Amino acid sequence: MINELNTELYHPGEWRWQEGDRTVTRTSQWTAPGCHNGCGILVYTEDGKFVKAEGDPLSGWQGRLCARCLDMQEAVNHSDRLKYPLLRDGERGENKWKRISWDEAVQWLKDAHQDVCEEIRTYPGGIGPEGFVSLTGTGRNTMWQVGMLTRAVFGSCNAGSGFLSGDSCYQSRMFSCMLKAGDCWIQDTACQFPDRYDNPKYRIPEVVVLWGHEPLASNGDLFGHWYIDLIRRGTKFITIDPALTWLASKSELHLRPRVGTDSALAMTMLNVIMSEELYDKDFVEKWSYGFDELKEAVAEWTPEKGEEVTWVPADLITSAARMYADANPGQISWGVTVDMHVDGTELCFAINDLVAMCGNLDTPGGNVLLRYAYNTSKKYGAGLEFLSKEILDRRIGIDRNPILASGFSQAISTDMIVEQLESADPYPILMTFCHGTNPLSCTGCDTTRIYNAMMKARYNVVYDVFMTPTAVAVADLVLPAAMSVERKSFRSWWQPLRSITQCCDRYYESKGDDELIWYLGKEFNPDFFNKFERLEDFLTWLIQDEGNGVDYTYDELTEKVYDYWDWNMEYKKYEKGMLRTDGKPGFVTATGKYEFLCPVLDVIGTYTMPVFIEPYESPVRTPELLEDYPLLLTTGHRAPWFFHSEHRQLKYMRQFMEYPDCDISKDAAEKYGIAEGDLIWIESPRGKCKQIARIAPGIQPQTVRIRHGWWFPEQEGAAPNFYGTFEANCNNLTTIGVMGRIGFAAPVKGGLCKIYKVTPDNDCLVGKIYKEEGGFGGEHQLYWRS
Amino acid sequence: MVSVASTNFTGEANTMGLLIDYEYCTGCYACIVACQRELELDPKTYGIKVHGYGPVEVGDDKWEWSYLPMPTSRCDLCAERTAEGRLPSCVHHCPANVMYYGTLEELSKKLAEKSTQVLYSL
């Protein structure tokens, strides 16, 4: 029989068994190395050492694995991994370190923390721990972890992201969902069911709109290749992307908007659907609020005006709007791109409105409302109970960040962290803790500014799996992190609740993220953490969530491996009274309806409905820049073999890409005398980087698409080379301090640039510009709001 | 590195094969790594190699962009795995599920059911 395997070899229902000398453990993989998926794997170990991972054919992932997991042995057993706590033994940037014990590291942290607290208390209103700021990376299973580390361990109110301007990764998407629908949705690929597409409740979407999303390479939340399953089952695709992706080439329609004009596109689509009455009248009538106001707000967005702004032909916009509205069900799958324009939040409003209006909210095959499995409250907000009202009032930016002040989000604006590092006003940030983030290679926008800002902190700690450019450049203490297969943890992110089981010995003296918090907690906050004799007890406390979560222990989860939460397997929960705590039908919003017009946003002080804001730098807003910077920049192009700035030291991944390449059109190549394979400078008003030119068929002609997250672990780590990370860094070109009106979203993907060949005359080591010249000399934006 | 004896390219009659539905191969290279790790091969040494064509415009905004995994002489169809009832590692792990392992007889029937497929006799 074709593709028939012997299921018994995969031990149905068991979580651990022996195959000869090898122990096999059934669990899920979730960082490090990082990604967003959390796939089901079988981990083979021998004498406590990692041998290999095999996809678990009996899991919801059906045995499939991407190249990164298939090469996990290279990551786990890599000789360059951090083995011990390291204390800086030279100047920052010299890459000279002294091995210390964990006891010494803890004492160093205690001394630093005490110094921070004492100095902060000399400032008006100073309490102490607020001078400590933690920074977290994405996809590194640092959710409740960073909250607990910051609040429960160090007693600080300041937890932020790794300097990704506007916190423009998922904040706009989540915020828009929460405000308008009261819950978050994800694209329905049947991942909430153990039997997946075979579940009788599920329906295959007729149409999927990929909005700024290349799921095959970016694996946002879900296993991207599930879309291949849908294509096979008859789903048609619409791709909205300035570049031709593989999925775009298979799509019925491909819309290539001018970078940063997606809101205009979305509002034009809304207008077409509303004026042609293609929407779901039953849903709009029974379950929504503010439809007429929205209709009025988008009325000006005729397809002709849409074309003028977005450069997408009017008839193509109309066709896309009709095709999505006519689909039953239709689905929209959005990527991080939608967060990465100044009007990203408002774009997310518009996309939400498309979903809801067309009757695809919480319907089979549409966009389904999910909560973290078993609705555990221990997420980014974890540990708030450890903070006093007084210290919460000391959060960075509390006086000018309405989202924070309103209590909607506990995420500190990363742009405001940078500004306060620079200004020390109203108090200095004396200590940073990078928890699984490498901002100088990856998320840190306007990176020279980040570098200079971080150098101002008295103490910088980096906790990671490898020595990174950020650690070399700014860290004083480096702590070794364990990898997923060495950790005890869990994942409740959507569905199912799943175990992350320790399968092999931890590498040398590394500690898992969860273990680190439990371990440091006993030192810094013994009253609380001494309740947990074992790490497993602490994890049980987290999954039980004080009566709100599961009713079993972490050890039992280890044996269950997966636990699919019933609640997540229901559709139209708003009809069934499943969303609201009062048990009434409706949504968790002020009106109880889906809100096309969201009055709460008016109270917060921002737009209540979708709006298009011309990009911060664009041919329309800043025509004066066009002479020098005639092309449109988009950053963050992904490849399937790397997760953000990770995996660069793995030769089995680098075999597919040695050096980052950027996509330019044939027109641009001819105009600027660039040939395929040339090393080129890409330059914006703030800085420049080098990548290899690829002439990309099908890209919007003025667009330059460049990669992110690159460094070269094989190169010299010490200054001024810094593992070469600043040479190819797309964030030399981006901004810090340019934000959407509520503080979320920033032009990470939008901007103007020019391109020209690297020649012996103009070549230079960019790291020297960082180390010796203090930056590129361009002007930094201090504070700009849409 | 282990040298793997080839069971194919012998010219002898064969019964087993790999069928690839290349309409849906996305060029993710998972099969390459699965194979390299199973056969203990160095990077850029292949038991299966993915070849590509495109993107090439073949009509008004219509594109051809295809990938095709091709086994090399090192491929033994994961003899050890298949002997005990597992699938070849590339087939087992293919994220797009485009690879099929079976007898040439049954794969030939599948081949006839749909275009844009190739069948390797190995």
| Residue A257 shares a structural domain with residue A286 | yes
Answer yes or no: is B46 within a domain.
yes
Residue A670's pLDDT is what? 98
Residue A621's pLDDT is what? 95
| Residue A346 shares a structural domain with residue A425 | no
Determine contact: A232 vs chain B, CB below 8 A: yes
At B53-109, the pLDDT tens digits run 999 999 999 999 999 999 999 999 999 999 999 999 999 999 999 999 999 999 999
Determine contact: A216 vs chain B, CB below 8 A: yes
A228 vs B contacts (CB less than 8 Å): 24, 26, 95-98
Determine contact: A639 vs chain B, CB below 8 A: no
Answer yes or no: is B2 within a domain.
no
What is the Cα–Cα distance from A339 to A42, expressed in whole angstroms? 35
Indicate which CATH number applies to the domain containing A441: 3.40.50.740
Residue of chain B with shortest Cα separation from A52 = B37
Residue B5's pLDDT is what? 37
pLDDT band at residue A137 using 50, 70 and 90 as cut-offs: confident
- Choose, out of B68, B78, B92, B109, the residue to mutate when testing the contact with A (most A CBs < 10 Å): B92
Answer yes or no: is A11 within a domain.
no
Average pLDDT over residues A84-95: 98
Q: Across the interface, which of B29, B64, B100 has its CB nearest the CB of A67?
A: B29
**Taking the model in full, what pTM does it have?**
0.97
Indicate which CATH number applies to the domain containing A582: 3.40.228.10
In this model, does residue B7 exceed pLDDT 50? no
SS3 content of chain A, % helix, strand, coil (to 5): 35, 15, 50
Indicate which CATH number applies to the domain containing A669: 2.40.40.20
Answer yes or no: is A76 within a domain.
no
Determine contact: B57 vs chain A, CB below 8 A: yes
- Choose, out of A68, A656, A666, the residue to mutate when testing the contact with B (most B CBs < 10 Å): A656
Determine contact: B86 vs chain A, CB below 8 A: yes
What is the Cα–Cα distance from A221 to A143, expressed in whole angstroms? 14
Indicate which CATH number applies to the domain containing B94: 3.30.70.20
Answer yes or no: is A66 within a domain.
no
What is the Cα–Cα distance from A633 to A664, expressed in whole angstroms? 10
- Choose, out of A70, A244, A255, the residue to mutate when testing the contact with B (most B CBs < 10 Å): A70
Give how far B92 is from chain A: nearest CA, Å.
6
Give how far B51 is from chain A: nearest CA, Å.
13
A697 vs B contacts (CB less than 8 Å): 54-57, 63
At B26-40, the pLDDT tens digits run 999 999 999 999 999
Residue of chain A with shortest Cα separation from B81 = A5
Residue A207's pLDDT is what? 98
Residue B11's pLDDT is what? 57
Give the amino acid at A6.
N
At A356-371, the pLDDT tens digits run 999 999 999 999 999 9
Contact state of B26 with A9 under an 8 Å Cβ cutoff: no
Contact state of A244 with B95 under an 8 Å Cβ cutoff: no
At A607-618, the pLDDT tens digits run 999 999 999 999
Residue A306 C-beta-side C-alpha neighbours within 13 Å: 29
Contact state of A246 with B26 under an 8 Å Cβ cutoff: yes
A648 vs B contacts (CB less than 8 Å): none
| Residue A698 shares a structural domain with residue A557 | no
Q: Across the interface, which of B24, B37, B57 has its CB nearest the CB of A52?
A: B37
A86 alpha-carbon distance from chain centroid: 28
Residue A220's pLDDT is what? 58
Answer yes or no: is B11 within a domain.
no
- Choose, out of A239, A240, A655, the residue to mutate when testing the contact with B (most B CBs < 10 Å): A655
Answer yes or no: is A50 within a domain.
no
Q: How many CB atoms lie within 10 A of CB A73?
A: 18
Q: Return the structure tokens found at B111.
A: 């081949």
User: Element (H or E) spanning A88, and its range?
Assistant: strand A86-88
User: Element (H or E) spanning A433, and its range?
Assistant: strand A431-435
Give how far B95 is from chain A: nearest CA, Å.
5
- In this predicted complex, what is the ipTM? 0.97
| Residue A267 shares a structural domain with residue A219 | yes
| Residue A130 shares a structural domain with residue A223 | no
Three-state secondary structure of A245-261: CHHHHCCCEEECCCCCC
| Residue A548 shares a structural domain with residue A486 | yes
What is the Cα–Cα distance from A752 to A734, expressed in whole angstroms? 10
At A90-112, the pLDDT tens digits run 999 999 999 999 999 999 999 99
Decide: helix, strand or coil at residue A20. Answer: coil
Instruction: Give the range of the structural domain holding residue A460, as residue numbers without chain letter.
Output: 86-167+375-563
**In angstroms, what CA-CA distances link A257 with A12, A215, A375?**
48, 19, 38
pLDDT band at residue A782 using 50, 70 and 90 as cut-offs: low
- For chain A, how many structural domains are there in total? 3
Are A252 and A209 in contact by the 8 Å Cβ rule? The answer is no
Contact state of A229 with B97 under an 8 Å Cβ cutoff: yes
Residue A785's pLDDT is what? 79
Average pLDDT over residues A158-168: 94
Determine contact: A299 vs chain B, CB below 8 A: no
What is the Cα–Cα distance from A77 to A186, expressed in whole angstroms? 35
Give how far B89 is from chain A: nearest CA, Å.
9
In this model, does residue A738 exceed pLDDT 90? yes
Are A560 and A499 in contact by the 8 Å Cβ rule? The answer is yes
At A587-604, the pLDDT tens digits run 999 999 999 999 999 988
Contact state of B100 with A698 under an 8 Å Cβ cutoff: no
Q: Across the interface, which of A67, A231, A248 has its CB nearest the CB of B33?
A: A67
Answer yes or no: is A442 within a domain.
yes
- Choose, out of B25, B63, B86, B106, the residue to mutate when testing the contact with A (most A CBs < 10 Å): B63
Please name every residue paired with A289 in a beta bridge, in sequence order, or none if there are none: A595
Residue A221's pLDDT is what? 59
Are A396 and A419 in contact by the 8 Å Cβ rule? The answer is no
Determine contact: B27 vs chain A, CB below 8 A: yes
Please name every residue paired with B70 in a beta bridge, in sequence order, or none if there are none: B49
What is the Cα–Cα distance from A199 to A197, expressed in whole angstroms? 5
Q: Across the interface, which of B37, B54, B95 has its CB nearest the CB of A71?
A: B37
Contact state of B26 with A54 under an 8 Å Cβ cutoff: no
Strand order in the sheet with A253-255: A253-255, A236-240, A207-211, A330-334
B117 alpha-carbon distance from chain centroid: 11
Dihedral angle of Cα A291, A296, A302, A308, to the nearest 10 degrees? -110
In this model, does residue A778 exceed pLDDT 90? no
Domain-terminating residue out of A563, A587, A615? A563
Decide: helix, strand or coil at residue A514. Answer: helix
- How many Cβ pairs closer than 8 A exist between chain A and B? 111
Task: Return the ∠ at Cα A720 (arms to A716 and A723), rounded to 5°.
Answer: 35
Average pLDDT over residues A22-36: 93
Contact state of A71 with B101 under an 8 Å Cβ cutoff: no
DSSP one-letter string for A343-410: THHHHHHHHHHHHHHTT-BTSTTSEEE--SGGG---STTTTGGGS-HHHHTTSTTTTT-HHHHTTS--
Residue B6's pLDDT is what? 40
What is the Cα–Cα distance from A168 to A458, expressed in whole angstroms? 27
Determine contact: A440 vs chain B, CB below 8 A: no
At A209-243, the pLDDT tens digits run 999 999 999 875 578 999 999 999 999 999 999 99
Decide: helix, strand or coil at residue A785. Answer: strand
Instruction: Give the range of the structural domain holding residue B38, as residue numbers without chain letter.
Output: 16-121
Give the amino acid at A38.
G
Residue A786's pLDDT is what? 76
Answer yes or no: is B84 within a domain.
yes
Answer yes or no: is B6 within a domain.
no
A216 vs B contacts (CB less than 8 Å): 26, 28
In this model, does residue B4 exceed pLDDT 50? no
Cβ partners under 8 Å of residue A44, min gap 6: A19, A22, A23, A24, A50, A51, A52, A53, A54
Q: Return the structure tokens found at A766.
A: 């960019």
| Residue A578 shares a structural domain with residue A634 | no
- Choose, out of B28, B39, B62, B81, the residue to mutate when testing the contact with A (most A CBs < 10 Å): B28
| Residue A346 shares a structural domain with residue A241 | yes
A639 vs B contacts (CB less than 8 Å): none
Rounded to a whole number of angstroms, the CA Rg of chain B reads 15
Task: Return the ∠ at Cα A615 (arms to A172 and A136), rounded to 5°.
Answer: 35
Q: Across the interface, which of A3, A6, A249 has its CB nearest the CB of B102?
A: A3
| Residue A147 shares a structural domain with residue A163 | yes
Answer yes or no: is B62 within a domain.
yes
Residue B1's pLDDT is what? 38
- For chain B, how many structural domains are there in total? 1
What is the Cα–Cα distance from B67 to A22, expressed in whole angstroms? 36
| Residue A133 shares a structural domain with residue A209 | no
Give how far A259 is from chain B: nearest CA, Å.
19
| Residue A313 shares a structural domain with residue A433 | no
What is the Cα–Cα distance from A581 to A577, expressed in whole angstroms? 9
**In angstroms, what CA-CA distances link A783 with A166, A347, A400, A742, B106?**
12, 22, 11, 13, 66
Decide: helix, strand or coil at residue A517. Answer: helix
What is the Cα–Cα distance from A732 to A728, expressed in whole angstroms? 9
Decide: helix, strand or coil at residue A480. Answer: strand
Give how far A133 is from chain B: nearest CA, Å.
38
| Residue A253 shares a structural domain with residue A272 | yes
Decide: helix, strand or coil at residue A561. Answer: coil
In this model, does residue B2 exceed pLDDT 50? no
Dihedral angle of Cα A138, A141, A147, A149, to the nearest 10 degrees? -110
Answer yes or no: is A504 within a domain.
yes
**In angstroms, what CA-CA distances link A105 with A99, A112, A528?**
10, 10, 21
